């Protein structure tokens, strides 16, 4: 019955989910549709939400930024340092090809997209030649349901093609989940459930604008007919259908004839008075808050200046990307790297590079201060190391408080008085 009403209202966009929304383990359908209309009167689905440019921009920004950052595996050293473990099996998997049909960029990007929209991302762990983790096979969140059985967690996975379900243990499924969690803590709550009202309002505004301009920026009207013009309701409906065909779409500016004394009373809609543009802009700002994306990253430059855009870019790394990256790192280190002597880490220096002048000034300070070597700097600039480039400088005018200044070198000491030439008279 609900399907019929949605079709009548023009809201039937996607198939309804088969799971019960009251269930803590309920997820969106394959395209993200939810089974109820929000207060905006719009059924929120991925298909409709992705038509809103700001939603698409935010998701693309997150899902393209994470895989663009270098992700490397390191070995812990006894002195507290670390070294890159490029021969670790997981290093090859994360950097090149995590499975037989995706590159690492595609895999991480897809997982991050699901994580940002569904707040869950799943990948089946397949052992093989590279060890216990030879491949990571992604599964769409709509086809996975986590269940707790005692102390163990199991995942029911529905096959994409056959629909048959199989059960995997938590040791066989790599599960990334983002806040907020369900009551049992097994999964994240999808964005359409926590922010469906604001997304639904944005979809409604976007759809209104599309329909308005589809009709050439003109609103509809009321046809006033004298009594007795139409003998039956069917005659009236047929006349209205013919009128709409003649006055909408590609025929909207063509001449039309009104017969039988029918008059057209136009309804004028003033978008300026209805604050259409202001509403659209405010909704766009609200959407960026869902993913904590700086407005200028989503193309909103109303209040952007050079100074605050630069600060927002720094905030983007610390407030937006850092929590996502730490989530990835913690799940890799906890579930995929079996040895406590190794760990994975993203390199975010590329996001904080800044302009050339600022970057070189920072390198100069680091070099003069003694915490950067020539090769450290060259590595950050993607340049090859040079011989004797690992030495660090130590300023001569810096010493621990209360200590005596270092003795002067022998070749710089002044000659002793006995070494002075004999005076002449």
310-338 pLDDT, tens per residue? Answer: 677 778 988 999 999 999 999 999 999 98
- Please list, in sequence order, all residues whose beta carbon lies within 8 angstroms of the beta carbon of residue 310, skipping any fewer than 6 positions away: 354
Domain boundaries, the chain: 1-217+271-352, 220-267, 356-399
The pLDDT value given to residue 254:
66
Q: Residue 212's pLDDT is what? A: 64
Question: How many angstroms separate the Cα of 205 from the Cα of each of 14, 17, 59, 287?
Answer: 19, 25, 20, 13
**329 closest CA partner among 343, 316, 340:** 343
How far, in Å, CA of 179 to CA of 46, rounded? 19
pLDDT at site 422: 58
pLDDT digits (tens, 9 = 90+) for 215-263: 555 556 777 888 878 888 898 888 888 877 776 666 566 666 777 778 7
Q: Give the pLDDT of residue 407.
A: 59
Between residues 271 and 100, the one the model is more confident about: 100
**Residues 10-39, mean pLDDT to the nearest whole number:** 41
The set of residues, in sequence order, having a beta carbon less than 8 Å from that of 299 and lying 6+ positions away, is 53, 54, 57
Query: What does the CA dihedral 98, 100, 106, 107 come to, rounded to 10 degrees?
Result: -40
pLDDT for position 280: 85
pLDDT over threshold 60, residue 11: no
Kindly give, in sequence order, each residue whose CB lies less than 8 Å from that of residue 349, ignoring residues fewer than 6 positions away: 380
Average pLDDT, the chain: 80
Residue 42: pLDDT band by 50, 70, 90 thresholds?
A: confident
Please give the pLDDT value at position 410.
Answer: 53
Locus of tokens 């202001």? 278
Which one is predicted more confidently, 271 or 102? Answer: 102
Confidence band of 97 (pLDDT split at 50, 70, 90): very high
Structure-model confidence comparison of residues 331 and 21, the more confident one: 331
**pLDDT score for 307:** 60
**What mean pLDDT do residues 148-159 have?**
94
Q: What is the mean pLDDT of residues 346-358?
A: 76
Inter-axis angle of helices 104-117 and 322-335, nearest 10: 110
User: Residues 49-76: pLDDT tens digits?
Assistant: 999 999 999 999 999 999 999 999 999 9
CA distance 328 to 346: 9
Q: Which of 2-16, 179-193, 388-402 has the highest mean pLDDT?
A: 179-193
pLDDT for res 250: 62
In this predicted model, what pLDDT tens digit does every residue of 121-149 receive, in sequence order?
Answer: 999 999 999 899 999 999 999 999 999 99
Q: 184 pLDDT band (50/70/90 cuts)? A: very high
Give the range with max mean pLDDT: 20-24, 39-43, 179-183, 380-384. Answer: 179-183
Question: What is the pLDDT, as a whole number, of residue 206?
Answer: 84
Alpha-carbon torsion, ordered 311, 312, 314, 317, to 10 deg: 170
Higher model confidence: residue 35 or residue 120?
A: 120
Average pLDDT, integer, range 301-317: 71
At residue 354, the pLDDT reads 64
Contacts of residue 409, Cβ cutoff 8 Å, sequence gap at least 6? none
Helices 196-214 and 276-290 meet at what angle, rounded to 10?
140
Residue with the bigger pLDDT between 313 and 203: it is 203
What residues contact 53, with CB distance under 8 A and at least 6 apart? Answer: 299
pLDDT band at residue 300 using 50, 70 and 90 as cut-offs: confident
Where is 62: in which H helix or E strand?
A: helix 53-68
């Amino acid at each position: 019955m609900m399907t019929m009403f949605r079709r009548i209202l023009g809201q039937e966009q996607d198939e309804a989910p088969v799971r019960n929304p009251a269930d803590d383990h309920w997820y969106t359908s394959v395209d993200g549709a939810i089974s109820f209309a929000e207060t905006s009167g719009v059924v929120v689905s991925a298909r409709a939400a992705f038509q809103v440019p700001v939603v698409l921009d935010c998701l693309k920004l997150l899902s393209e930024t994470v895989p663009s950052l270098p992700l490397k595996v390191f070995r812990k050293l006894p002195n507290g340092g670390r070294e890159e473990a490029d021969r670790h099996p997981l290093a090859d998997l994360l950097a090149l090809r995590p499975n037989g049909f995706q590159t690492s960029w595609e895999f991480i990007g897809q997982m991050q997209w699901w994580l940002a929209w569904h707040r869950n991302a799943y990948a089946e762990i397949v052992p093989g030649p590279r060890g216990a983790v030879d491949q990571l096979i992604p599964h769409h969140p709509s086809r996975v349901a986590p269940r707790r059985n005692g102390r163990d967690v199991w995942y029911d996975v529905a096959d994409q093609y056959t629909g048959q379900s199989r059960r995997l243990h938590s040791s066989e499924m790599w599960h990334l989940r983002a806040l907020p969690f369900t009551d049992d803590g097994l999964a994240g709550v999808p964005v359409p459930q926590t922010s469906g009202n604001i997304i639904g309002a944005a979809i409604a505004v976007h759809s209104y604008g599309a329909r308005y301009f589809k009709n050439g920026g003109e609103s509809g009207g009321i046809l006033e007919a004298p009594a007795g013009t139409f003998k039956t309701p069917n005659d009236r409906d047929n006349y209205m259908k013919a009128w709409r065909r003649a006055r909408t779409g590609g025929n909207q500016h063509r001449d039309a004839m009104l017969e039988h004394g029918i008059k057209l009373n136009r309804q004028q809609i003033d978008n300026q008075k209805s604050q259409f543009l202001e509403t659209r802009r405010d909704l766009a700002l609200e959407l960026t808050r869902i993913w904590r994306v700086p407005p200028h990253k989503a193309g909103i430059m109303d209040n952007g200046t050079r100074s605050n855009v630069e600060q927002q870019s720094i905030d983007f790394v610390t407030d937006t990307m850092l929590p996502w990256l730490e989530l990835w790192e913690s799940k890799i280190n906890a579930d995929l790297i079996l040895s406590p002597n190794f760990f994975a880490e993203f390199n975010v220096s590329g996001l904080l590079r800044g302009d050339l002048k600022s970057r070189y000034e920072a390198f100069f300070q680091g070099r003069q201060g003694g915490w950067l070597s020539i090769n450290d700097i060259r590595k950050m600039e993607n340049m090859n190391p040079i011989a004797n480039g690992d030495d660090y400088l130590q300023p001569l005018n810096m010493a621990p408080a209360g200590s005596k200044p270092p003795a002067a070198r022998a070749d710089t000491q002044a000659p002793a008085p006995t070494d002075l030439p004999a005076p002449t008279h």
